[in-house]
Structure formats: structure tokens, C-alpha cells
Chains A and B, each alone.
Chain A
Amino acid sequence: MLAVGTRLLRRAAVCALVGVVACEPAAPPERQAPEPSEPLRPPDVRGPIPDGIKLADYVLDASLDAEKHTVSGTARITWRNSTRSPVDALVLHLYMNGFRAEDTAWMAEARGAHRGARQNKGDGKWGYIDVRAARLLAHGPTADFKAPEQRDAAATALTLVEGSDPSLGQLALPQAVGPGEAVTVELDFFTQLPRVFARTGYDGDFHMVGQWYPKLAVRHEDRWQAHVFTLHSEFYADFGDYEVHLDVPEDMVVGATGVQVEARPPENGRKRLSYRAEAVHDFAWAASPDFLEYSDMWRDVRIRQLVPRALAGDVQRHLDAQVAALESMDARFGPYPWSTITIVHPPESAGGAQGMEYPTLFTTSDILRLPLPLRLLGVHELLTGEFTTIHEFGHQYFQGLLASDEATQPWLDEGINSFSNTLALDDWLGADASIARIGNQRVSTVDMIRVALGAGSGLDPVDRPAEVYRDFTGTFGGTVYRKTAAVFHTLRALVGPEKFDRAFRIYCDTWRFRHPTGDDLVAVLLRELGAKVRISETGADGQPIDLDLRDYLEQGLKTTAAVDFKVARIANKRAVGTGGWHRGPDGALALAEAPAPEDEGDEPDEGAGEGFALIVREGEFRVPVELEFEFKDGARERLVWDGQARYRVFTFPGRRLVAVAVDPDDKLLLEGERLDNHMRATGHSKPDGISDPAARFAEAADLALLGGLGL
């Protein structure tokens, strides 16, 4: 007790005294939870798995050479042709070949950098996958991939031909696979992992093994949907069952997709671990002798964290975020179907592996170490750690479960996921949650998306294939992640959260374990919300205001139109008087000497008058918007403008305007520029809300610097 107390005291003293180093939270003791026996949760919890969705089953048998950082093995793949026409060749992704040379599509776009991580210069610069042999094991209406040994003798040799970009390969079959037929092929592969800088690879003893085996593309009715691996394109594959055997050095702690079903006793310094995963579309694993393991349960789902010792003090914060994400998403988007989720914390030196999702396994990122002075300033942020965990877990739904084609429509993956992340944060921390704080100031989830909207999100529409986004424009994040999220948050706020959430849940329920497209999502929303959604019964002219949903989604997803409204001018003019020459009942002109107007000029302060407000739609995006008018007598009035015209002048006879606010409830998250949404009439001393705090802060900063005049 005493020893601990003294150590703690010393630690605290050092932290307090030095004030510059962050206090490393100590590693808590490891904890284990039992390995789930089944890869899926019980049927009554997770619901049914639709028939016929499993089209690609894999048996992978692989061995890791931790010294050379290579994985060699065989992949036995059974594919079912669910289309209406015969198929005479299989197309395979050889993702690791994206890192094979400078001139691959991936490398040519990346030019040695990915999300800020630089490619290593010396050893381990390149990664590749070499398919050294291929055989046809079985072909027929019911190929049984699980017991293919007896057919080995009859195996027909096949040749895999790499495409013009080596990230794709084609395997011609001696005989076409007819509709409803299945085929089993076996490939011997050798994968050299690169030193990690983009998702996959090694760093010292740490191995993040993703995109490591030959993987089937998806057969659409008329063609293979097989994208060349490029910088922004992620992955797309059919669901299936995976049976994976890994032979690794004895001291490796391994985390993998699915559940571990067998661990053979170590022999000659190696051990063989077997995994099973069901109804997933990829398999990834991580291995390191330095991992500590922390397993916890959320209901019947095992949450397993693998963490280097230096980062182990953060496991509770990641666990809290993971539980919050499960609570929120399981309730909102349907039950999480798998029995496990593994969170891999790459070591600090392997930053390129951070923040990547695979079925039932993802890598998260380190929580930023804040030095003591910043903590004293009240700096607290969820962005570097918790947010990554929530985001990567969100991918278990979008696109782990709703397995859209990430290469063709990345917004269905990153964008819808970003939308779901904000909801999860709000569910966790309360509406309009804070993602970061400093002192008494905060950055809300809304601010986070909005600030990013400005950064080049106006160059490309949301609905674009990943390969169209050039790294050079820097628009991928702002458009695909943030603008998509803003489109759906804005829609949710406009039509009402409950209504939207119900419709969105139907989309999730309909498309689990399937491959929804953008059109599928739009179709569900149109069907469930209606083509015209009533926004308000009282429009600017007393008429009801509807949101044209198709038009809204068209503008939001297919165009670069931006939402931008502005209060351009507010003025109060004197009331129209009765003086002057008018014709009387007898038809003759008569002069009426009405009392002189009480005051002169355009901006009368007292007496009867008329308020004018000019609201301009500066952006091309047409969307209904709420306006709030504040009058001199303290009254406030709200009405909804349909936002279709370029501008509108609102007049209030007999009333004097003090201020006007556009979108007072902050519903239009799509609107990046907010400052011009609220304006006061000239001559009114209402504070602007920023200059006073700025002056106060500047004064305090000056006082701190002057601090006794530096005498």
C-alpha cells in the first residue's frame, strides 16, 4: 500500500512540478471474458440472416513469418453464381499489390503518403501478393468446400492473370459456372507485408494483416464489379463464412475477425489458432507479442481490446465509447448481429494502421496526451480516441452489415457512418454533444461537421465513385464524410427526428446483409417519408410549406449546391401617412393636412413605423428555412419561407424590427456559414456576441503579459 502510495505521490509531484509532461495513466490489470462459442449472436437477438446472401466462403490456412513479415498460405474459395447467366472466369482483388511499385494506381495517386503517414523509405517499403498456384477443386450444383480433400487428386490447374493494375487478377475457368452452380478454387499465395503506412503491414513485432489474401470481386448481373485499388476506394465483397487457420510464433497475441474455435498447444515455438466467422465479407487479423488483452461484455457481445502497454491506460475510455456506440446503434439501426468485436490499438509508431474497420474487428487511434497546462485550461477532447472508436465501430453497420459498394458510392459507407456517429455521440452525451472543450468553450458535433464543410466540399457532389476524388483537391473528407452527414442531419431536423429515424430504421432492416445502393436508400426514404414532407402549416404567405424530398436529395447528393442564407438588411421606416391631395367624394381634389410624421428619415426610433427585412438566398441550394423576427416590443414571431426565390422582403406594418434570425434552431447543418444568419437593426445596441468576449480576452492576455509590469 505504502509503496504504491509513495509512487503515486511522487508521480503526482512530478506531474505538478513539471507541468509539461502528460501523466501517463497506468496500465490496469488485464481482464478476460470467455470466447463466444458462436460467431453470431443467438437468432432471437440478432434476427434472421436472409437466405442466399452467402455467396463467397473462404477457408484460409496461413502462416506468419514474423521476421520477414510475410504470410504464406492457401485460400480455398467457394463461390456461388447467383446471377442469371453463366460465368467463365473469376475476378479476384489482389489488394496488397497496390503497394507493389510506384506505378500502381494506388501509389501513383498517393505519392508516398496516406492520411498524413509517409511511406517508409528503406526496408519494407513495398508490399505485394503473389499467387503461386491455382487449382479448380470442385464445380457443380453443390460444391462442398468444407470437405474438398477427396477431390484434390482431380484438381485442375488454373492460371491467375494479373490485370493492367496488379491489384486485380483473373482466373479463367475450364467450364463456365452456370446460374445456381458453385465452384471451389484453391490458391497458394505469398504475401509480403509493407511497413505499415496505409491500414495494413508491420511495425517491429506488430502485424496488422488486412487485404492479405486473394479475394473475390462481386458478380453483378452482367459483369464483375471489381474496382482497381485506388487511394480512396475501400472494399466491396460478398458475404460468406470464413474458416481461418493461423500459424504464428508462440508469443504472439492475436486478434481476428470472428471467434477463436481452436488453439492447438504450441509446438516448436509456433502455435496454430483457428477462427470462424459467419455472414461477413472480409477477414483481418492483428498479431503482436506486446499486446495486453482487456475483454468485457456488453450484453452477450464480447468486447476485446488488444493494446500495447504504453496505451493501456486508455482502455476504459475506449470501452465507454464502444459501449455507447453499441447502445446507440443496436437500438437505432437494428441488432448488432455478431457475438464479438475486437478493438486493436496499433502502437504509436504504426499510426498508418489506426482507424480502419474490418468485420468484427477494427483499429482505433491513440487518445492525445494533453500536457498539464492544457488540462488546467480545461482542454478535453473526444476526437482522437473515443470518436475513432465510435466511427470505426459504426462501420460494422455501414458497410459491415449494410454492405454497399464502397468504391462506387463511398458516401454510403463513410458518409452515412459519419451521420450515425453524431447520433451515437448525442445519444451518449446528450443532444448537441461536445466533441472538444477548452475552458468554458466547446466544439459541438454540429460545429465539427460544419467547420469541415467549408474545406472544399463544394468541388465534387457527394455521389461520386471513390476514384474520382483526387488526393490533390483534398475534398474527399469534407464531401464524402462531412457533407453526407450534413445532408442527412439537415433532412432529419427538417422532417422531424422521429419520422426520419423510423424511415431510416426501415432502410437498415431491409438492407442488412445486403448491398444497398444510394438509390435504394433514397427509395426507402421517399416511400416512408413521402415525396412531399410537410414542414410547416404556416408559410410566409399563410400557405403550408412542403419539403420536396426528391429535389432535396438530388441537390444534396448529386450537385455541389451549398445552403447559404443571409439576413441582408433590416430597416424600420416611418408609417405611410394620410397627408396630401386626395379626391374627395365629390371628385374634387382636397388637401388634407395630416399631422407631420413624428420623426424624419429612414430609421425612426419611436411611434408607428414599418419593419423591413431582406433575406437573401446566397447559396444555390433551395430549401425551406425558418425565420425569427424580433420586435421592439419584445415580441418574437416565427415563420417558414420556402427558400425557392433568390430573396424575399418581409414587411411588418405598424411594427418595428430589432433583429432577424435565419434558421434560429440550427436545423440546417448543411449551411456552413452561420454568422450572417442573425442580424440586428442598425441603431440597436444589442451586443454582437463576439466583440465583447474578444476584448475581455485580449485584456486578460495583456494583463497576464504585463503581470506587474514586468518590473
Chain B
Amino acid sequence: MNSLRRVTRVPGLWLGLCALQLGLAWCLAQPVGAAVRTAMNGRVWTHPDRLIAALAELLGQSPAIVAVFVAATVASGLLGAALALLVRGGVLLRLHDAGALGTSAWAEFGRASLGNLPVLALIGLYGVVLRLILTFVANALSGSHAVVELVVLIVLLTFATCAGDLAAARRVLHGERGVHPREYLRACVDVARSPRLWLASGALSLTRWAVAGAIILVAVHGVGEAWSSWAARGLACVAMFLALWRVAVAVEASQPRA
């Protein structure tokens, strides 16, 4: 089955995760708005295009706002990683088999998520180790040239993502004992031996990062404007779709050959 098809036949999964993501971001942004509102204390700034000057003054008076912003951003990163891990099992299962519907589908999703949590966490840990090693490799490969190093690193990181997806899919969907590092290594070797798989997964990873970059662009070019918020939300849903698609590529690759 086509990996794209695996995603499009479970629109509920995509929409549910989008809602989760949008809700999370919105909630995390509220303390920032509240901190600024409290600091403003009835004062009003009337130049929407000159917020830099206003912020320079406001942050000088209330530096705590920076702390709130940083905390919210860090929290979003951590929560994002935690939630990704939490739903990973369910996502793999739904992309593999969209058979169940309605309540039973969500129950299945929950079971798969929670049941596979420890082992997926372990695979995640292997991924962290692999990424660290790849960072050194990128450094060694590119000598002192920072730009080359960055490019090499980005390419290698897509490899780690792809290998992690494949190992997780095999473990969750086909009951392989992915707990052992050997299984993870086998996934790595398979990805290395299958450039098409790496290319497909890597392209989707890169596109998703590009979309994340586009969200920052939109946010900076439309500070304070509603269109920018809606564009950011829309792009976040696109990023979510790309992430699911990438996982579906691994699910597809994990299917036993006929």
C-alpha cells in the first residue's frame, strides 16, 4: 500500500493530533500574553510597527517576561517530545491498520500507545546516542567548514530519524524484540542499504523542518497580525501531516515482503 494512502485513510488521527498540537501551543502562549498584560498594567502602546522599542523599554522594567517566554518555549519543546513518544505506538498502529472505527479505534490507539511506551522510549534513547555519534561524524567529515558540517549533519540526522521510525515500526507492528540494540542496528543497516527509503523519509523530514522554518518566517513578518497566527496554525497542520507521512513510510517499509 502507498504510504500517503496510509495517512489519508485516517483523517481523524491527523485532525486529532493537529488539535492537540494547536491546543498545546495556544495554552503555552497564554502565560506569555498574561505576563505582558500584567506588566503593562493599563498602559497602552499604539505603534504596532514599532514594538521593538516598546519591548526594549518593557523588558527593561519587567525582565521576568523573558523568563516566561523562554519557559513556555522550552516547555513546548519538551512537551512536544514527550507527547510524540506517548502517541507513537498508537500512531504506528493506526497507520498500519485502519480497520477499527470510532471508540474502539481510539481504545486501540490508547492501548498501543501506552503498551509500547517503554520500548519506544528505549528506541528513542538509541536514537539520541546515534544522533550524538552522527554529530561527531559530521564534524570529522567536514573538517573546520561550519557550513559543510551543518549540511552533512542535517543529512545524517534524517538518517537517524528514518532508522528510528523503522525500528519502532518493526517492534510495534511485527513484534520484533526491538529492545536489543542489535535490532536497532539492523534497522540502521537496512536504511543504509535502502537509499530510496532514506530518500523518501529524509525528504519528508527536511520538508517538515522547512515548514517549521516557514512558521518562524510567518511569525516574524506578521507580528501581531491575525493572518500570521492562522498561517502559522495552518503550517503546523501541514507539518503534522508530513510527520505522519514520514512514519507511514517506515510502516510501509516494515511490511514483510510478499
| Chain A residues in the interface with B (C-beta under 8 A) | 17-18, 20-21, 373, 376-378, 438-444, 447, 450-451, 454, 567, 570, 659, 661, 673-676, 678-680, 682, 686-711
Pair A707/B211 contact, Cβ less than 8 Å? yes
**CB under 8 Å from chain A, chain B span 30-49:** 30, 32-34, 36-37, 40, 42-49
Q: How far is the CB of A11 from chain B (nearest CB, A)?
A: 14
In the complex, B114 has a CB within 8 A of chain A:
no
> Which of B84-92, B128-136, B175-183, B191-199 interfaces with chain A?
B84-92
Pair B53/A447 contact, Cβ less than 8 Å? yes
In the complex, B236 has a CB within 8 A of chain A:
yes
Q: How far is B229's CA from A429's CA once the two chains are assembled, in angstroms?
A: 31
Q: How far is B58's CA from A703's CA once the two chains are assembled, in angstroms?
A: 25
Query: Contacts A440-B225, A694-B33, A696-B228; is A703 near B46 (CB within 8 Å)?
Result: no
Q: How far is the CB of A370 from chain B (nearest CB, A)?
A: 14
Q: How far is B185's CA from A695's CA once the two chains are assembled, in angstroms?
A: 43
Q: Which 10 A-B pairs have the closest CB atoms?
A: A695-B33, A693-B224, A708-B243, A700-B219, A439-B220, A699-B29, A707-B212, A689-B45, A702-B76, A691-B36
List 15 additional contacts besides A377-B221, A675-B45, A710-B243; criterion CB under 8 Å: A17-B151, A438-B52, A439-B220, A439-B221, A442-B50, A689-B47, A694-B69, A698-B33, A703-B22, A703-B236, A706-B21, A708-B243, A709-B83, A709-B84, A710-B81
Pair A693/B21 contact, Cβ less than 8 Å? no
Query: Contacts A690-B54, A692-B33, A695-B32; is A709 near B21 (CB within 8 Å)?
Result: yes
**Chain B interface category by residue count:** 35 or more
Q: How far is B51's CA from A690's CA once the two chains are assembled, in angstroms?
A: 7
Residue of A nearest to B22 (CB): A703
Pair A674/B57 contact, Cβ less than 8 Å? yes
User: Using Cβ atoms and an 8 Å threshold, which residues of chain A touch B219?
Assistant: 439, 696-697, 700-701, 704
- Which of A440, A689, A693 is within 8 Å of B46, CB to CB? A689
Query: Contacts A693-B224, A708-B21; is A688 near B44 (CB within 8 Å)?
Result: yes
- Which of A675, A687, A697 is within 8 Å of B57, CB to CB? A675
Residue of A nearest to B65 (CB): A694
Task: Show 6 A/B contacts (Cβ-Cβ < 8 Å), sorted by A.
Answer: A20-B146, A679-B44, A698-B73, A706-B24, A707-B208, A709-B240
In the complex, B256 has a CB within 8 A of chain A:
no
Pair A699/B45 contact, Cβ less than 8 Å? no
- Which of A18, A688, A709 is within 8 Å of B45, CB to CB? A688
Q: How far is B33's CA from A688's CA once the two chains are assembled, in angstroms?
A: 11
User: Using Cβ atoms and an 8 Å threshold, which residues of chain A touch B54?
Assistant: 674-675, 689-690
Residue of A nearest to B244 (CB): A711
In the complex, B60 has a CB within 8 A of chain A:
yes
In the complex, B80 has a CB within 8 A of chain A:
yes
In the complex, B4 has a CB within 8 A of chain A:
no
**CB under 8 Å from chain A, chain B span 66-84:** 69, 72-73, 76-77, 79-81, 83-84
Residue of A nearest to B224 (CB): A693
Q: How far is B87's CA from A675's CA once the two chains are assembled, in angstroms?
A: 45
Q: How far is B60's CA from A705's CA once the two chains are assembled, in angstroms?
A: 27
Q: How far is B20's CA from A374's CA once the two chains are assembled, in angstroms?
A: 31
Residue of A nearest to B26 (CB): A699
- Which of B46, B65, B223, B243 is within 8 Å of A678, CB to CB? B46
Pair A686/B233 contact, Cβ less than 8 Å? no
User: Using Cβ atoms and an 8 Å threshold, which residues of chain B touch A373?
Assistant: 213
In the complex, B15 has a CB within 8 A of chain A:
no
- Which of A376, A690, A707 is within 8 Å of B209, CB to CB? A707
Pair B57/A709 contact, Cβ less than 8 Å? no
User: Using Cβ atoms and an 8 Å threshold, which residues of chain B touch A694?
Assistant: 32-33, 36, 65, 69
In the complex, B56 has a CB within 8 A of chain A:
yes
Q: How far is the CB of B172 from chain A (nearest CB, A)?
A: 13
Q: How far is B146's CA from A147's CA once the two chains are assembled, in angstroms?
A: 63
Q: How far is B42's CA from A693's CA once the two chains are assembled, in angstroms?
A: 16
Q: How far is the CB of A280 from chain B (nearest CB, A)?
A: 39
Query: Contacts A698-B69, A706-B76; is A443 near B50 (CB within 8 Å)?
Result: yes
Q: How far is B24's CA from A332's CA once the two chains are assembled, in angstroms?
A: 57
Query: Contacts A376-B217, A709-B20; is A698 near B211 (CB within 8 Å)?
Result: no
In the complex, B218 has a CB within 8 A of chain A:
yes
User: Using Cβ atoms and an 8 Å threshold, which residues of chain B touch A438?
Assistant: 52, 220
Q: How far is B219's CA from A441's CA once the two chains are assembled, in angstroms?
A: 11
In the complex, B100 has a CB within 8 A of chain A:
no
Pair B42/A378 contact, Cβ less than 8 Å? no
Pair B28/A691 contact, Cβ less than 8 Å? no
Q: How far is B218's CA from A21's CA once the two chains are assembled, in angstroms?
A: 22
Residue of A nearest to B76 (CB): A702
Pair B32/A440 contact, Cβ less than 8 Å? no
User: Using Cβ atoms and an 8 Å threshold, which residues of chain B touch A690?
Assistant: 36, 40, 45, 51, 54-55, 58
Query: Contacts A447-B50, A705-B77; is A688 near B57 (CB within 8 Å)?
Result: no
Q: How far is B232's CA from A695's CA once the two chains are assembled, in angstroms?
A: 13
Pair A703/B52 contact, Cβ less than 8 Å? no
Q: How far is B33's CA from A694's CA once the two chains are assembled, in angstroms?
A: 6
User: Using Cβ atoms and an 8 Å threshold, which residues of chain B touch A710?
Assistant: 77, 80-81, 84, 243
User: Using Cβ atoms and an 8 Å threshold, which residues of chain B touch A444?
Assistant: 50, 53
Q: How far is B56's CA from A447's CA once the two chains are assembled, in angstroms?
A: 10
Interface centre among A678, A686, A689 (most CB of B within 10 A): A689
